Structure 1
Amino acid sequence: MENAEVAIDALSICLNINGWEMMISLGFLAAAIVRVSNELGRGNAKGAKFAILVTVATSFLLGVLLFLVFLFLRGKIANLFTENLEVVHDVSDLSPLLACSILLNSIQPVLSGVALGAGWQSIVAYINIACYYLVGIPVGVVLGYVFGMQVKGVWIGMLFGTFIQTIILVVITYRTDWDKQVVLARNRVNRWYEQSLVSS
């Protein structure tokens, strides 16, 4: 990276802020896992759909609010972390990417939580691997080093991977037959119960 010290300082400030926001999203992820799995376990497909709608909408609205805050504050945020004007300028330059990351991170973890609550752990793992390692990192490397976009290019690549992952999870969630998922959940619980009886 050109001027690597400033670039890494600016990136670490942005990643710190992004990490703070992720704590909120991870709370919604946990809520989605618990609510969806509970509703499926008790045979309530409508309840599962309602839980999905509420958690995704709430997290998304919070993400939009934070998106606007960080988009309009731009360099002012960096003043909380540093007095170096170069770093402040770079953070201001990266703020649109930070805002987009915050918006995507308000949806993607919740949808991952929905998928985990429905028992699709392996599907989520494959989607993660494909989106980050086959899409995000290669695009980031090409933009960052081949096209000379530096930190911005790497970040755009990772954002692109997250965007693809979000689209895939939205499609899967939307096209799912939740009544069928109730039956599958019941079968899993019955199978687990039978195994526990045999082992005891």
Structure 2
Amino acid sequence: MGSALETLCGQAYGAGQLEMMGVYMQRSWVILICTSLILLQLYIFSTPILLLIRQQTSIAKAAGTFAHYMMPQLFAYALNFPIAKFLQAQRKVMAIAIISAIALVLHTFFSWLLIIKLDWGLVGAAVALNGSWWFIIVVQLAYIFSGTCGRAWSGFSWKAFENLWSFVRLSVASAVMMCLETWYFMVLILFAGYLKNAEISVDAFSICTNILGWAMMVAMGANAATSVRVSNELGAGHPRTAKFSVVVMLITAFIIGLVLSMILLATRNQWPKAFTSSQTVEKLVSELTPLLCISIVVNNVQPVLSGVAIGAGWQAIVAYVNVGCYYVVGIPLGLILGYALNFGVTGIWYGMLAGTVLQGIILIILTYRTNWNKEASMAGDRIKLWGGYKGKTGIEEK
């Protein structure tokens, strides 16, 4: 839901309407904290929910224990995402990077201390994660309150409680778009828990998705850069610059994904040893590596296209695309291959990949056929609607 700010703050910054950015962030805080109170029920009742859908008892209990200790992080997310989008829209990315780097060092040390040295296990992992995220929140807020953001932050305002319903609708559209992507991968891991030798399947699948997640961190950087640049340029009335930015980021993301994939493929018999001591799991991970490599290339390009959608305000359209590609094509195909045709975890991954590829193709077509001058004009109208517009936004000619 916080990604709604990428559209609003980015376009407001591009149009020079900085004073509305802090208000947008506060509105997002109000909405996300309320949403977190609702989502909290999933954390509290996670074990009964998993048992209800017939997950293995040991997995359900372990997940439930972890979820209970992770509740503070839920509220950290509610504050952090709006802060990150607020700073990214102003291109203050280096501040976020430095704070995150410090948090990473601290997180690594405390993870080792609590999980390994003190043998707290999952509880130690949760405590370390909670501490790291709240450290980031406190330092980022100190950075913003210190006056480094100029007119973008002028203090707390009652305007944060105005026009909330319209803000909720845009936030929900953003949430649906992003959640359908994230849940897609989580649901497939869930299905792996129903396969024969479930622990081995879940282990191997989790290792691969962990690597995919690391690779996607690079891609999500491209996602943020694309959405910020596109929203800034559309807000400023520069459609040609927005279009050029998309092309540059697509090429860059593809090359990065290709390089990462080649490294993994070349070391397919070595890198799994860093995650497991089980030879059975190692073998399955090695077999999945070619699919993992293809997924990394595809998933490096896909976030850039999603970034275009967020920057231009297409969240609702992409949500429909995600439903069709992921839940009408990807998941059913994965289940057919994994269960009916006995391909196991490999079949599930084939289905996941098919849905992602189809989504990427559709988004490329949408992006290619976009009228960027029209999008810049719509950005100007959106700024008027949300109250941050005080002048005429000029649109450059073709």
Tell me the TM-score range normalised by the shorter chain.
over 0.9
Higher relative contact order (CA 8 A, sep 6+): 1
Shift of 1:131: 1.2
Of residues 214, 229, 233, the one that matches 1:35 is: 229
Instruction: Please tell me whether the aligned partners of residues 29 and 111 of structure 1 are also in contact (alpha carbons under 8 angstroms).
Output: yes
Shift of 1:195: 9.0
Cα offset, 1:53, TM superposition: 1.2
The CA deviation at 1:50 is 1.4
CA distance in 1, matches of 2:306, 2:370: 14
Question: Which residue number corresponds to residue 60 of structure 1?
Answer: 254
* 8 A Cα contact 2:226 2:249, kept in partner: yes
Corresponding residue number in structure 2 for 1:134:
328
- Structure 1 residue corresponding to 2:381, chosen from 168, 180, 187: 187
Question: Matched residues in 2 for 1:50 and 1:194: separation?
Answer: 26
**Residue range with higher mean Cα deviation, 75-84 or 89-98:** 75-84
* Number of equivalenced pairs: 196
Q: C-alpha separation between the residues in 1 aligned to 2:296 and 2:356?
A: 11
Q: CA deviation at 1:176?
A: 0.6
Corresponding residue for residue 361 of structure 2: 167
**Alignment partner, residue 93 of structure 1:** 287
The one-letter amino acid paired with 1:119 is G
- Superposed CA deviations along residues 66-100 of structure 1, whole A, max 9, x for unmatched, are 11111221121101112221111111100011101
Which residue in the other structure is 1:78 paired with? 272
Name which one, 1 or 2, has greater alpha-carbon Rg: 2
Aligned to 1:121: 315
Closer, same or farther: CA 195–65 of 1 in aligned 2, 3 Å: closer
Q: Deviations over 1:131-186 (max 9, x none)?
A: 11111100001111111101011111011000010000000001111111111111
Could you tell me the percent identity over the aligned residues?
50
Q: Is the 8 A contact 1:116 1:124 kept in 2?
A: no
Q: RMSD in angstroms over aligned alpha carbons? A: 1.5
Q: Under a length normalisation based on structure 2, what TM-score does the superposition of the two structures give? A: 0.48
Aligned partner letter, 1:115: A
Contact 1:75–1:95 (CA under 8 A) maintained in structure 2? no
